[in-house]
Amino acid sequence: MIDHSDFLGGDYLGIDPPRFFAQGNLFEAGDLLIGRCTCGCEGCGDYPVFVSVNSNTITWSNLSGLKLEFDRAEYNKAIQTAKNDQSWEDKNRRVERVVSDLLRQTTTKDGYGFDWASARIKENCIMLSYSKNRDQKVFEIEWDGASAASGVIHAEKLLGTHVFPA
């Protein structure tokens, strides 16, 4: 949303909030992914911008001639406000975020690193993806389908058996 309007319109989907805010260059120069193809997959018609920073402004630009300039203080405040807003989460998205936060820096005993958690694939189950060298391992953990605390309890059990902090 820019000026209370969907900047991407119907041509692109926005990036999932956890994925968007995990990008390290929201406040510094570099490429920033802000949109993806309407099929939902990153890598298929992405909408990246280049972030430029100076003392007073943050600018998003791209090769198609886009140039959006934001007041740096307002931009920083808007990003922080949006980052802390979880009003869009349902119970599944909440448990995904909480479990992902717990497992974010973990690896399996054989060196696979945590990628994502999804509670939307199978009912009362959280799927966890770990990968290494383009190979993926998927773990399933149970949860009660209602409370994030239940997901955390089962994720902590996984930590003790298959996974350890990085």
pLDDT of residue 166: 56
Domain boundary among 83, 101, 128: 83
Local confidence pLDDT in tens for the 166 residues of the chain: 777 888 888 889 888 888 888 887 788 889 999 999 888 778 888 999 999 999 999 999 999 899 999 999 999 999 999 888 888 889 999 999 999 989 988 999 899 999 889 999 999 999 999 999 989 999 999 999 998 888 888 888 887 776 676 5
Q: Decide if 137 contacts 131 (C-beta within 8 A).
A: yes
Question: Is residue 8 one of the residues assigned to a domain?
Answer: no
Question: Is residue 106 one of the residues assigned to a domain?
Answer: yes
Check whether residue 146 and residue 109 sit in a common domain. yes
Give the number of other Cβ atoms within 10 Å of residue 144's Cβ.
Answer: 14
pLDDT of residue 157: 85
| DSSP assignment of 77-112 | HHHHHHHT--TT--HHHHHHHHHHHHHTTEEETTSP
Question: Is residue 24 one of the residues assigned to a domain?
Answer: yes
Domains held by the chain: number: 2
pLDDT of residue 128: 93
pTM over 0.75: no
Q: How distant is the alpha carbon of residue 149 from its chain centre?
A: 20
Check whether residue 37 and residue 76 sit in a common domain. yes
Domain encompassing residue 111: 91-165
Give the number of other Cβ atoms within 10 Å of residue 114's Cβ.
Answer: 21
Check whether residue 79 and residue 96 sit in a common domain. no
Q: What share of the chain is helix, strand, coil (3-state, %, to 5)?
A: 25, 35, 40
Question: Is residue 40 one of the residues assigned to a domain?
Answer: yes
Question: Is residue 62 one of the residues assigned to a domain?
Answer: yes
Domain boundary among 59, 83, 107: 83
